[in-house]
Amino acid sequence: MPNRIDHIAIGASSLADGTAYLQSKIGVDVPAGGKHDLMGTHNCLMGLGDGCYFELISIDNAASAPDRPRWFSLDEQHTSDRLTSRPRALCWIVATDNLDRTVENSPVDLGEILELRRDDLRWRLTVPQQGNLLMGGLIPFFIEWPKDMHPSQNMVQLGIKLEAIQLTHPEPDMLTDLLSALEVDHLCTVSKAEPSVSFALGTPQGIVVLD
């Protein structure tokens, strides 16, 4: 099966701040998800249809500090400063059926493959050792789930749909070539501007862009 969008990640300074912001922007309360003990984070989750989902993620201040940098750049001061003002689009995550092949053939270092678990869920994910976002989130993380086991199957659907992943870069052709080599260029749009990641969501009130 071709690579496909697995989920999108929005970061917040706290889940309370994040859910309040999302209620004001897209008109829904995103339900609580769970905790990631390895990373010291927790999340809220909802389905977006078509086998993908929405993740609101934050540092879990009640958890023990991890012995490694947290994922999605959450330990970086730049990210902390951005999230202080409001929740922000962090990155996108692509599902693949052969994570080892994806990592081996990638023209950029995608990081290490971590074997992860939460409750009864199991998955494998690429994570840079320093926890950073690749090209500020323009390059996706890659994930592999066991066959016939995907969390979106059990997530609440609140009428929100992912319409587009929108990327900008001063050199759009270079970024497009890189995404093509990763076999994900068909999953997003790329245009010329300063580097940014945003997600266009279809809501009952119309299209809302989260950046």
Neighbouring residues of 36: CB distance < 8 A, sequence distance ≥ 6: 42, 43, 60, 116, 118
Statement: residue 26 has pLDDT above 90 = yes
What pLDDT, in 10s, does the model give residues 46-94? Answer: 999 999 999 999 999 999 999 999 999 999 999 999 999 999 999 999 9
- Indicate whether 112 belongs to any domain: yes
Tens digits of residue pLDDT in 150-209: 999 889 999 999 999 999 999 999 999 999 999 999 999 999 999 999 999 999 989 999
**What is the distance between the alpha carbons of residues 8 and 197, in angstroms, rounded to a whole number?**
10
Q: Is residue 149 part of a domain?
A: yes
**Structure token digits, residue 83:** 């999230």
The Cα angle at residue 69 between residues 63 and 71, in degrees rounded to 5: 85
> What range does the domain containing 86 cover?
4-158
> Is 191 within a domain?
no
Domain at 28, CATH number: 3.10.180.10
User: Is 135 part of a structural domain of the chain?
Assistant: yes
Q: Is residue 201 part of a domain?
A: no
* Stated pTM of the model: 0.96
Asked whether residue 88 is assigned to any structural domain, the reply reads yes
Domain count, the chain: 1
The pLDDT assigned to 178 comes to 98
